């Protein structure tokens, strides 16, 4: 089966520092891929390259087997790739609907320059509520996002990505700084994305969460891919060993 997203021979340098060194990774529709590794392993660099925030020095990125160019986050958005960074990139002063549609507002008439088009506020609010309901993200208030709890904010960020990602959702540390119950909700959200046949890439340090939701785990160290396993009770020790630098 052709992977939805694949990267071949990905190499990225920052001066003398090697961020990525000939990394091959692919992810299929309806699959959750975990990217694991210690700090400085190259996970963040890889997802920045996949989301268009950084350009590869060498290597190829393919969507459905076809080579694509990702020069900017806008290119990634157009290809159906959405990323939720660890800082969530939310606008605390705006409501969920405004956060959902920031930079891609529904507005008209189309003959006017984009900046002075009239917002279709009701339509944006309605669609946002529908998406949040579909993904079972419960909000007791649709006011400013800054007043939501950590889990609810994470829910809004993930739902926003899910709403616009037709193919791939990339999540950077989605459960960091969340309590047990709120982490549970985010993990359920990831499983729902998988049910919707989205390809999901999760970067996480929380091994128990990885074990629960990931279908496959790629382990990275010092910019290189050092292993690829199916997470299970049997492979747990092997994965940890690869992360910290031991052999398989």
What residues line the site for other proteins (CB under 8 A)?
Answer: 53, 73-74, 77, 85, 87, 89-94, 98, 101-105, 107, 114-119, 121, 140-141, 146-152, 179-182
CB-wise, 44 or 238, nearer to other proteins?
44
Residue 187 sits at the vertex; the CA angle it makes with 48 and 28, to the nearest 5 degrees, is 55
- Is residue 158 a contact partner of residue 169, using CB atoms and an 8 Å limit? yes
CB-wise, 174 or 227, nearer to other proteins?
174
Nearby residues of 219 by Cβ (< 8 Å), 6 or more positions away: 36, 37, 225, 226, 227, 228, 229, 239, 242, 243
Least distance between other proteins and beta carbon 177 (Å): 11
- Chain centroid, CA 39 distance in Å: 18
Least distance between other proteins and beta carbon 41 (Å): 23
Q: What is the C-alpha separation between 59 and 23, in angstroms, rounded?
A: 8
Q: What is the C-alpha separation between 22 and 59, in angstroms, rounded?
A: 7
For residue 130, the tally of other CB atoms under 10 A from its CB is 11
DSSP 115: G
Least distance between other proteins and beta carbon 92 (Å): 6
CB-wise, 19 or 151, nearer to other proteins?
151
CB-wise, 67 or 104, nearer to other proteins?
104
CB-wise, 108 or 245, nearer to other proteins?
108
Least distance between other proteins and beta carbon 98 (Å): 6
Least distance between other proteins and beta carbon 228 (Å): 30
């Amino acid at each position: 089966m052709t992977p939805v997203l694949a990267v071949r021979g990905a190499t990225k340098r920052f001066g003398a520092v090697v961020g990525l060194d000939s990394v091959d990774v692919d992810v299929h529709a309806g699959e959750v891929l975990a990217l694991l590794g210690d700090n400085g392993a190259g996970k963040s660099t890889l997802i920045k390259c996949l989301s268009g925030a950084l350009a590869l020095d060498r290597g190829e990125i393919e969507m459905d087997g076809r080579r694509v160019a990702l020069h900017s986050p806008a290119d990634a958005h157009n290809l159906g790739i959405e990323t939720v960074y660890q800082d969530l990139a939310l606008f605390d002063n705006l409501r969920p609907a405004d956060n959902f549609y920031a930079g891609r507002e529904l507005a008209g008439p189309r003959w006017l320059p984009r900046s002075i088009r009239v917002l279709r506020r009701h339509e944006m609010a309605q669609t946002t509520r529908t998406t949040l309901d579909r993904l079972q993200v419960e909000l007791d208030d649709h006011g400013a996002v800054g007043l939501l709890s950590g889990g609810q904010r994470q829910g809004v960020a993930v739902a926003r990505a899910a709403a616009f990602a037709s193919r791939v959702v990339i999540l950077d540390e989605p459960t960091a700084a969340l309590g047990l119950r709120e982490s549970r909700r985010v993990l359920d959200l990831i499983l729902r994305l998988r049910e919707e046949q989205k390809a999901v890439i999760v970067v996480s340090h929380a091994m128990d969460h990885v074990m629960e939701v990931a279908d496959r785990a790629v382990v990275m160290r010092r910019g290189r891919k050092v292993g690829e396993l199916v997470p299970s009770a049997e492979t747990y020790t092997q994965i940890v060993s690869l992360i910290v630098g031991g052999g398989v």
